[in-house]
Amino acid sequence: GDLDRTVFNVNTTPRRGRQESVTSDPNTMIFISRVAQEPDCSVCVNEGSGQNCNPQSLSLTDPSNTIVEFTCPLPQDVFSVEINRQIDCTKSSCVVSLPSQYSADIQFANLSQPICAEKHTQIKVKNLDQKAELMSRREDEKIENIMAQQSFQLDMSNCKPKTGDFGAMTKIVLQK
């Protein structure tokens, strides 16, 4: 008799990924880095023939209106996102909007301590819907990490240094 020549069948299904629209202020850089080995996942920018994908990291130096695509359904388990923003050194205020069910671990690093002629640099963090501050420190005081449970405002007002410059790096890590 005749034998069935079909050894196996292959059915393909589209990969379930996730797209995020990224809108940022000028002078903002976004770094997406892999933090877990599994599962197989890449981060991509652009679409069609101009798409650029990388399984390890992606740097967006001008992400004003960009679509970022992840090739896995839960990219937050695989990648971390770091947002760096160059801040005007005389006065700056940033609003960080958190998605629902997320919190932000706010970390300060590389704080410089200029000698100021008139006043100290003030660094303040407060929730948007509250008047009370989560944190208020001068540049010469130790700053611990802060956990924000909702959208918040980060204010930095600077002195006019007699010597040196004011500098601070703020890293905000979103957690679910």
What tens digit of pLDDT does each residue of 29-88 get? Answer: 888 999 998 889 999 988 778 888 999 999 888 767 788 899 998 888 899 888 776 655
Range of the domain at 122: 87-175
Regarding whether 132 and 160 lie in a shared domain, the answer is yes
Domain final position from 27, 52, 82: 82
Is the predicted pLDDT of residue 160 greater than 70, yes or no? no
Is the predicted pLDDT of residue 166 greater than 60, yes or no? no
Secondary structure (3-state) at 49: helix
Handedness of CA 70, 18, 75, 72 (dihedral sign): negative
Question: Which is nearest to 80 in space by CA: 118, 36, 33?
Answer: 33
Regarding whether 130 and 51 lie in a shared domain, the answer is no
Assigned domain for 13 exists: no
Question: How many Cα atoms occupy the beta-carbon half-sphere of 86 within 13 Å?
Answer: 5
Regarding whether 34 and 92 lie in a shared domain, the answer is no
Assigned domain for 73 exists: yes
Q: What distance in Å separates the CA atoms of residue 39 and residue 41, rounded to the nearest whole number? A: 6
Q: What is the pTM of this model?
A: 0.51
- Give 109-118 pLDDT, tens digit per residue: 766 666 666 6
Strands 152-157 and 115-116: unpaired
Secondary structure (3-state) at 109: strand
Q: Bridge partners of 172?
A: 106
